[in-house]
Amino acid sequence: MNILITGGTGFIGRHLISDFLSRSPDIDFTVLTRKKAKQVSWLFPGIPPGKLQIINDTGELHDRHPDIMIHLAGAPVFSMLPFFENTAELTNSRTGYTAKLLTRLAAAGILPDTIIMAGSTGIYPPNQIPCPEETPSGNSFPAMLAKNWENAAAGTLEELRQSGIISKIPRLVTMRFSTVMGKSGGFLKPFLIAKGQPVIIPGNGNNMLSWISIPDTMEIAWNLVRVWRNFSGSINLAVPVPLSLNEICHDIAELNRAICTVHLPETPLKIVKPKTAAFLLLSNTARPDALTRLGYCFRYENFREYLKTII
Ligand SMILES: NC(=O)c1ccc[n+]([C@@H]2O[C@H](COP(=O)([O-])OP(=O)(O)OC[C@H]3O[C@@H](n4cnc5c(N)ncnc54)[C@H](OP(=O)(O)O)[C@@H]3O)[C@@H](O)[C@H]2O)c1
């Protein structure tokens, strides 16, 4: 089985490649990246060259037809530069890039039958009560970004079908990630870079956050590829019970032996980075209804217990 992956050089993508390759000898990956192969091959230590091909353009697939596409590419939501918010890049790298990629693959006759893409639980309106998948989307910046991304994929596929370029719509799954917790990237990484450093909590920290561990993320992605083959649509990747940002940050501080926690006031954050503030300060929670219906049992539901395994 050949899996074409975008965002394979990122936090979730790197885990996914090594996890899937360790599970099955009949899988190989083609990583579609903006970077040169020699710049990124070090990210995949120990993977036999035949199992991983790195390409910069879909043209390099030649007539090699991927069976599945896992589409994770998207510009990072956070930038440390003050007053800089790459909103156009955030949008284009998701909606524009998705439409272009699907159109190119379809035109070359190599659009896979299954497309599993990243999405975000940020699609829901700000909430304290976790939202199931059928909740109507919100209108905050994170919600519009996530919604437009999902619509770009579904809309492009429908246009391709209507124009006769493809005869049927592929199976389309959106993994709506909540905050994915792992040591080597995403939310947790900056907190774990040095033991004992202060933990900075944006705002008052009372906002609620859903999360999911890397091992559960990998297990669910694997099931979507190999087990739940009839599932299509959106699926929330979130543990059943969310936590407040304060609870999360205090657990991190305690286990990482941080010297203190510091609250970053909301108002300057909203002035300096209004879009970023929307991601950091809103309550964003999701209920894993689709996973419950599929009978999924989480490996980690307790944040503190999970943290102990990685700190
Ligand atoms: N981690 C989370 O907690 C979380 C939560 C919700 C949603 N998500 C979404 O899930 C996806 C994967 O997350 P991640 O944490 O693995 O992200 P990540 O580490 O930032 O990796 C994202 C990948 O996207 C590609 N990319 C970056 N900027 C791009 C641009 N301007 N145009 C096209 N491609 C670009 C990069 O691949 P190349 O450099 O190889 O091209 C990069 O490796 C992302 O789209 C993210 O928004 C993640």
Element housing 280 (H / E): helix 274-281
91 or 276, higher pLDDT: 91
Longest pairwise C-alpha distance within the chain: 62
Q: Residues 200, 262: contact at Cβ < 8 Å? A: yes
Provide the pLDDT for residue 239: 98
* Closest alpha carbon to 273 in 90, 84, 122, 75: 84
pLDDT digits (tens, 9 = 90+) for 253-292: 999 999 999 999 999 989 988 888 888 998 999 999 999 9
Mean pLDDT computed over 242-253: 97
Domains plus CATH for the chain? 2-178+212-239+286-298 (3.40.50.720)
Locate 125 and state its tokens: 């309106």
The two beta strands, 68-71 and 171-177, are: unpaired
Measured from the CB, is residue 182 less than 6 Å from ligand 1?
Answer: no
Distance from residue 259's CA to the centre of ligand 1 (Å)? 31
Alpha-carbon distance 273 to 270, whole Å? 5
Q: Residue range 179-191: average pLDDT?
A: 95
The residue to which tokens 């503030």 are assigned: 277
- CA dist 231 and 218 (Å) reads 17
pLDDT 10s digits, 216-245 = 999 999 999 999 999 999 999 999 999 999
Measured from the CB, is residue 20 less than 6 Å from ligand 1?
Answer: no
What pLDDT does 80 receive? 66
Kindly state if the Cβ of 177 falls inside 6 Å of ligand 1.
yes
Three-state DSSP state, 182: strand
CA of 90 to the centre of ligand 1 (A): 10
Q: What's the pLDDT at 162?
A: 98
Q: Quick one: which atom of ligand 1 is closest to the CA of 73?
A: 24
1-50 residue pLDDT tens: 999 999 999 999 999 999 999 999 999 999 999 999 999 999 999 998 78
Q: Cα(first)–Cα(last) distance of the chain, in Å?
A: 35
Going by C-alpha positions, the residue among 207, 188, 147 that lies closest to residue 311 is: 188
Are 160 and 167 spatial neighbours (Cβ–Cβ below 8 Å)?
no
